[in-house]
Chain A
Amino acid sequence: MVFSNSAKKIVFCFVLFCFGYFMRSQNAVTDELNSIHGNFQLDGQYYEADSLIGAPKVPEKFLSNVFGNINYSKGKFSAGVRYEAYNNVRQGFLPSYKGQGIVNRYARYRTDLLDITIGNFYEQFGNGLMLRAYYEPGLLYDNSIDGARIISNPYKGVTLKGVIGKQRYFFSTGAGIVRGVDGEVNINELFDSLLGKKKTRVILGGSFVSKYQADQDNSLILPQNVACYGGRMNIIRGGFNFNTEYAYKINDPSADNNKSYKYGDALFSTISYATNGFSILFQGKRIDNMSYRSDRNEGLQNLLINYLPATTKQHSYTLFALNPYATQLKGEIGFMGELQYKVKKGTLLGGKYGMEITVNYSQANGLKQYGVRDSTTNMTFYQTKWDFSEFNSKNKVISTPTGTVVTNNENLNYYHDFFIEVNKKFNKKFKATFMYGNQFYNRNIIQFNSVNAGFKNLRTDLALIDLTYKYKSSSSIRLEMQGLFTPDQSVETNSNLVAKGNWATALIEWWPNSNFFMAVYDQYNYGNPNDKLKIHYYLGTMGYNSGPHRITVSYGKQSAGIFCVGGVCRVVPASNGLTLSITSSF
């Protein structure tokens, strides 16, 4: 009998499981360190077509995403598997997630000196600019490395890591091999007797990552090994915190950069000061040609080795998050500043519980590119400069020896977001959040990755009121209202491009007790210039919670949008129908 590859994997995990179960039953009384845990999630949807909102007909009618993790541990040893099933994958995810199987299995032995993992693992070097293997089930983002990892702490304050393997690619692994080493030194801990009590704390780190992929291109000589390396520093003193990391990548011609042989680099820095009741934070970054994947021909969120965080606020209210920013891997420069202040209790504004105020501004611009003609290949490549001229957003006429050129600086405005948020608790029963926001969204770049996509830039003002009334010890009602206003009613205000102009939303959420809730939500595109498209997106939701278990059912229309969880965003299509979601952990 010949087993297929996936059958082998299943047998492997079956054996692992039996082993764990056997061990448990043997030692359940005498040795409680022996344990099996896991979690489970099901998201299923019954789809109804709705041509008006652009919800397509789904031939299967019902689609579902399911996964379950099982982790076994005994003392220093742990092992686990994850099973995923897509029959078929829900709308809005890549159709390559087809079928089912064991997509993650590992075994790990861990001591203070040495920590060894074989199989699939997740890892992050520094801020992730060079390497981050990460898992976010809500977005089906999983670029785990399947291979081996060793972590060692040879001295106090010193951490060394080494990884090698291939990355997960749907139900298999990607073409390239990823190798990396990382070292981090906590100076104060290492020189404990000298510096242990010093107020200034310094942590230094450095990484080297390399990927290998065979060159199968007939016309180009491509680098088969692409290195990426860099360093980082974190200095903390009292309320001050400074964190910076720089990464450099050698030339890496890929589908992302149109086979450019230019190097790539990234700088990500944050400085903050925080004291009781007040904080200020400034974050800046510049990335240039830093897409880094273990397969140079891939796109979207597939086989990314590194992570380039967006320096814009991640909103949790629907309309504020309707048009969110996503890092442009090709290149961008951006910053964010945030000020938070808590008005003290017992003051006129603060009242009995105090009042929190947050002011935040963030911006992202494209990098200005200067063309350079290569005389041997007769091709044009580009360079960038560190002169921050990107922030000068007006088009300019400049004269060159060959004539005048109009710079296209306005296309370099990608995004900005300004908001003020006020949180106040008035008394034991009543609290409120108020928000005002102003956003700029360059749809051509952010959604279509092209200056010539033909859409107008979106400028919006946003407002929110969120009121919670707790009428009994565990019973409450929440009312939330939002508005999105644009001066130009003909401009698209949603990623499905059907929606135009202003929006308003209203939500009533009722918790009769803390286990059960019901919510009714209406998102209304009242400003659409086409009367037929002044659509109400009604959604009713019911949910039940008990301990680590949760089940929710919702029915109605969902507008298309960009859905962001944990720093990763994906486009979700408009849909209409019944959604069932179950999460459980044990």
Chain B
Amino acid sequence: MKKVILLSAAVLIMCSAFISGDGDKIPSATLKNLDGSKINSSTFSNNGKPIIISFWATWCKPCKKELDAIAENYADWQKETGVKLIAISIDDARSASKVVTDVKTKGWTYEVYIDENQDFKRAMNVNNVPFTFLIDGTGKIVWSHNSYAEGDEDKLYENVQALAKGEKLKH
């Protein structure tokens, strides 16, 4: 009996992979702003324009490469599409204080929040960083991507442009 239940549980878990959750709203988690205040992730908005949510950490080299690459063209991206990037640091107490020094030194102009005990990371089902999401103008999660390879930022921007035009994204 136990084995049957176990097996059915396992099958359910496998099947659930095919229940596409695309088009869901951003789940609710409490994040820390760099000025010490708190914000609920479900309140993220950008006046009907797309949002990029990028999970990173101060100890994650590929994450910083990706955010550096985007930073080079971020001003143009904003002008052309109105997109906003929200960078979510998953640094814990050991390195959370390095988030503000890294961001300022690099001169990133993103909205940055700290997910200190990774509640938001879990709510968004992020396995590892870097992990990037795209949110459309109505606040729905429409695209996600894990890891970073050189040039990924160009693909990301193609998707942002499509979203800004109100087009559906290809997967």
B104 and A547 contacting across the interface, CB-CB below 8 Å: no
Chain B contacts for A277, CB-based, 8 A: 104-105, 107
Q: Is the beta-carbon distance between A274 and B105 smaller than 8 angstroms?
A: yes
Chain A residues lying within 8 Å of B93, measured Cβ to Cβ, are: 124, 127-128, 132, 268, 307, 309, 567
Q: How far is it, in angstroms, between the C-alpha of A102 and the C-alpha of B60 when the chains are bound?
A: 31
In the complex, A342 Cα to B101 Cα: how many Å?
Answer: 12
A416 to chain B, nearest CB (A): 17
B125 contacts across to A, CB distance below 8 A: 37-39, 69, 71, 585-586
Whether the pair B144, A547 counts as a contact (CB closer than 8 A) is yes
Total inter-chain residue pairs, C-beta < 8 Å: 221
Q: Among B21, B57, B128, B151, which residue has its beta carbon within 8 angstroms of that of A586?
A: B21
Chain A 132-159 interface 0/1 with B at a Cβ cutoff of 8 Å (1 = within): 1111011000000000000000000001
- Chain B 57-73 per-residue mask, 1 if CB under 8 angstroms from chain A, else 0: 10111000000000010
- Among A70, A236, A311, contact of B16 (Cβ-Cβ < 8 Å): A70
- The stretch among A9-17, A367-375, A495-503 that forms the contact with chain B is A9-17
B144 / chain A contacts, CB cutoff of 8 Å: 547-548, 585
- Nearest-neighbor residue (CB-CB) of A111 within chain B: B28
In the assembled complex, how far is the CB of residue B83 from the closest CB belonging to chain A, in whole angstroms?
19
- Enumerate A17-38 residues with CB–CB distance to B below 8 Å: 17, 21, 24, 32-33, 35-38
CA distance in complex: A41, B2 (Å)? 24
Report yes or no: B118 in contact with A583, Cβ–Cβ below 8 A: no
Stretch at the interface among A55-63, A451-459, A468-476, A534-542: A468-476
| Residues of chain A with a CB closer than 8 A to B12's CB | 14, 17
Q: Hey, which chain A residues are within 8 Å of B131, CB to CB?
A: 548
Binds B, one of A164-172, A247-255, A278-286: A278-286
B123 beta carbon closer than 8 Å to chain A: yes
A234 interfacial contact with B, CB 8 Å = yes
Q: Are B149 and A159 in contact (CB under 8 A)?
A: no
Check A353–B72 contact: CB distance below 8 A: yes
Tell me if A461 counts as interface (CB < 8 A to partner B): no
Q: How many residues of A contact B (CB 8 A)?
A: 99
- Shortest B138–chain A CB gap in Å is 10
A239, CB-defined interface residue at 8 Å: yes
Residue among B102, B104, B126 with max Cβ neighbours from chain A (10 Å): B104
Q: Please pick, from B13, B17, B102, the residue contacting A83 in the complex, using a CB distance under 8 A.
A: B13
Instruction: Answer whether A586 and B127 are a contact pair too, CB < 8 Å, given A279-B104, A307-B92, A356-B106.
Output: no
Number of interface residues of B (CB under 8 A): 67
Nearest A residue to B152 by beta-carbon distance?
A: A514
Name, among B25, B144, B149, the residue most crowded by chain A CB atoms within 10 Å (CB to CB): B149
Of B32-40, B44-52, B74-82, the stretch lying at the interface with chain A is: B32-40
| B-side contacts of A340, CB under 8 Å | 101-102, 105
Question: Contacts A24-B19, A33-B25, A68-B13; is A566 near B104 (CB within 8 Å)?
Answer: no
A548 vs B21: C-alpha distance when bound (angstroms): 12
User: A132 to B146, Cβ gap below 8 A?
Assistant: no
Residue in B2, B57, B92, B126 whose beta carbon sits within 8 Å of that of A7 in the complex: B2
Known contacts: A39-B127, A122-B118, A342-B105. The answer to whether A243 contacts B97 by CB under 8 A is yes
Query: Which of these, B60, B105, B122, B123, contacts A316 with CB under 8 Å?
Result: B60
- A584: chain B residues at CB < 8 Å are 17, 127
Is B9's CB under 8 angstroms from A272's CB? no
Type the 1/0 row for A172-214, where 1 means its CB is closer than 8 Å to any CB of B. 0000000000000010010000000000010100000000000
**Which residues of chain A come closer than 8 Å to B21, judged between CB atoms?**
35-37, 586
User: A314 contacts the other chain (Cβ, under 8 Å)?
Assistant: yes
Contact of B8 among A14, A73, A310 (CB under 8 A): A14
CB–CB B92/A276 < 8 A:
no
B residues near A4, Cβ cutoff 8 Å: 2
User: A517 to B92, alpha carbons, bound, how many Å?
Assistant: 30
22 pairs of residues in contact across A and B, judged by CB atoms under 8 Å = A7-B2, A39-B126, A39-B127, A68-B13, A70-B13, A132-B93, A132-B117, A279-B100, A279-B102, A281-B97, A309-B93, A314-B95, A316-B59, A356-B105, A511-B149, A514-B149, A515-B149, A545-B145, A567-B95, A583-B127, A585-B125, A585-B146
The residues of A with any CB-CB pair to B shorter than 8 Å are 1, 3-4, 6-7, 10-11, 13-14, 17, 21, 24, 32-33, 35-41, 68-71, 73, 78, 83, 100, 102, 110, 122-124, 127-128, 132-135, 137-138, 159, 186, 189, 201, 203, 234, 236, 239, 241, 243, 268, 270, 272, 274-281, 283, 307, 309-311, 314-316, 338, 340-342, 353, 356, 468, 470, 472-476, 511, 514-515, 517, 545, 547-550, 566-567, 583-586
